[in-house]
Amino acid sequence: MNLTISGHHLEVTPSLREYVLTKLDRVTRHFDQVVDVTVLLSVEKQKEKDRRQKAEVNLHVKGKDIFVETSHEDLYAAIDQLMDKLDRQVCRHKDRVQDHQHSSHKRHADKVFDALQ
């Protein structure tokens, strides 16, 4: 897995990098086929004080790119919200990719009946 963490109008400190890595562990624990992750942390230059810290991630898995962005007045809270959204999207993608082909109920009943005899 390739990981890129960068900052726009802000320096990515080791504590921020470690925080993002610990939050990403939850996502990679649910779905291990992640190819590439790009995280961008930024401070928006706006006049209004709320929702200026922005976090976005572009996650590349086999066959799909997942993009999520959030903004909050606190960067750590923005990262938390970002990872929650990303985790939901990755779990949804994993459910779609999994094979949901089940044998029919009648065939299953026949196998159980044959096993009992």
Taking only the tens place, the pLDDT of each residue in 28-44 is 888 888 889 999 999 98
How long a stretch of residues is the chain?
A: 117
- The three-state (H, E, C) secondary structure of the chain, written as one string: CEEEEEEECCCCCHHHHHHHHHHHHHHHHHCCCEEEEEEEEEECCCCCCCCCEEEEEEEEECCEEEEEEEEECCHHHHHHHHHHHHHHHHHHHHHHHCCCCCCCHHHHHHHHHHHHC
Query: What per-residue confidence (pLDDT) applies to 45?
Result: 75
Mean pLDDT of 11-16: 93
Residue 116 pLDDT greater than 60, yes or no: yes
Please write the tens of the pLDDT for every residue from 43-79: 987 766 655 899 999 999 888 899 999 998 899 999 9
Please write the tens of the pLDDT for every residue from 74-115: 999 999 999 999 999 998 988 888 866 665 555 666 666 666
- Say what the pTM is: 0.77
| Tokens 């990872």 belong to residue | 83
Domains annotated for the chain, with CATH where assigned, are 2-116 (3.30.160.100)
Query: What per-residue confidence (pLDDT) applies to 48?
Result: 62
